[in-house]
Amino acid sequence: MKQQSFLYSTGYLAIASGVTLIIWMTGLESIGIPIFLVFLFLLFLLSRDIMPAIPLLMNALFMVSQTEWSMELIPLYIYLVPVALVGGIVAHIIRFRVNIFKGKMTMGIGIMFLAMLLSTINAEHVDINYLFYALIGLTYAFVYFYFVNSLEGNHTDYLIRMMVILGFLIVSQVLVYYLRVDDVILALEQKTITLGWGISNYVATYLIMFIPMAFYYARKQKINFPWILLIVIEIMALFFTLSRGGIVAFLATLPFLIVYLFKTNTWKSSLISFIGVIAVMGLIIIIFKDLFLAIFDRFAVLLLDDTGRIEIYIDAWETFKEKPLFGAGIFARVDEFGNFRMFHNTILHVMACFGLVGLVGLVIQVIMMFRIILTRINEKTVILGIAVLGAHIHGMVDNVYLMPQFMILFFLIIAVMENANKQIANDSILLRAEGAS
């Protein structure tokens, strides 16, 4: 019982992310990831409720310190990840007899899968590589169905705690990156930031989803100065990613977060904390003004300069107009070397690749996603809804939805909330039954 309670504790979450940070800093992921995979597999095998395995899976994503490998030099542990993950899931399904074919996202996922199949009609080439990418899409569906049917009870608080700690982990990695570069200003001017597991846009997407969780605790705690400080630090880290799309997406969600934070009885303390923290950060900006001027130069025009996206969007629209019903297939956009590329906009990408059928599937998925999260309006569901909204907004200018690392988090949030809704409904029925008796 003590062991089980520890796996659901904040200490367990903090230790997992602390170990991840050390492994990432030392470049020992070849040791750390296999160790995490062993524990992950054991949890799959031994625990009926799979929630304690999620922090290990999420932290493993942020453990990789570099990915500059040729195909011949890809380390063995990278191949072990899908083996351990799929093997553990299969073992869990068999042992605990999990029915993985239930879930409220079924219709949207089914239509999208049908759209992917129909898109092959217009695809120029359907080969083993095409089938591989199609299999990735099918994996998304499998991940959702597995999560939603393997979790037990209401894990909303656990999910938010995990996301807070992961946000602190990423901020720490951004800080370490800039402490290690020889010339910070040059790194900012040339946008060299990469954390190994992700480039600037990927880091920004995670921060957009994790920063709101600090707002949740700032609203919840009477003494919220530490949380306000964390919020400001995380926002500064977001600026240091130099992701203009990420900044625009966050600014779009910031009004919702401000209303969320100050629409409480403790808004005065929050305002005082914000003023104090911003004053301190203002002093830091003055002291290190050269660094922040370098950042400002990159964001002076935000998305108004030519980033090449307009041409990409036009290409997506023209592709859709040529094949509007089923799209041009998964490889609707490739570079001069024949490598798969995305259209940097979720809606246009789905339209170009999967046509109107795919667009219907996407719309149903997104609507159902927010319906599940916001089934019951409260502090937790609203902040999770804002986080997902921010990621979708970022998906209008960068690759977010349909990307494996983000789809795992999306479906995890949905699965947790779907199970939370069922638990609350069951508890309500039980209370009414007890009251009637």
Q: What is the 3-state secondary structure (H, E, C) of the chain?
A: CHHHHHHCCHHHHHHHHHHHHHHHHHCCHHHHHHHHHHHHHHHHHHCCCCHHHHHHHHHHHCCCCCCCCCHHHCCHHHHHHHHHHHHHHHHHHHHHCCCCCCCCCHHHHHHHHHHHHHHHHCCCCCCHHHHHHHHHHHHHHHHHHHHHHHCCCCCHHHHHHHHHHHHHHHHHHHHHHHHHCCCHHHHHHHCCCECCCCEHHHHHHHHHHHHHHHHHHHHHCCCCHHHHHHHHHHHHHHHHCCCHHHHHHHHHHHHHHHHHHHCCCCHHHHHHHHHHHHHHHHHHHHHCHHHHHHHHHHHCCCCCCCCCHHHHHHHHHHHHHHCCCCCCCCCCCECCCCCECCCCCHHHHHHHHHHHHHHHHHHHHHHHHHHHHCCCCCHHHHHHHHHHHHHHHHCCCCCCCCCHHHHHHHHHHHHHHHHHHHHHHHHHHHHHHHHHC
Residue reference for tokens 């991840």: 20
pLDDT at 418: 95
Exposed / middle / buried, residue 275 (Cβ in 10 Å: 0-12, 13-18, 19+):
exposed
**pLDDT digit string, tens, across residues 259-272:** 898 887 666 767 77
pTM: 0.92
pLDDT computed for residue 370 by the predictor: 97
Q: How much is the pLDDT for 68?
A: 66
Mean pLDDT (10-residue bins), the chain, 437 residues: 75 97 94 92 91 94 79 70 84 91 92 92 84 83 91 94 97 95 88 91 96 93 84 91 91 92 74 76 76 73 66 93 93 78 93 96 96 95 97 94 90 95 82 66
Q: Over the stretch 273-318, which tens digit does the pLDDT of each residue have?
A: 778 777 877 787 777 777 777 777 777 665 555 567 889 999 999 9
* pLDDT at residue 70, as a whole number: 57
**pLDDT for the residue 335:** 75
Per-residue pLDDT at 290: 76
pLDDT at 308: 79
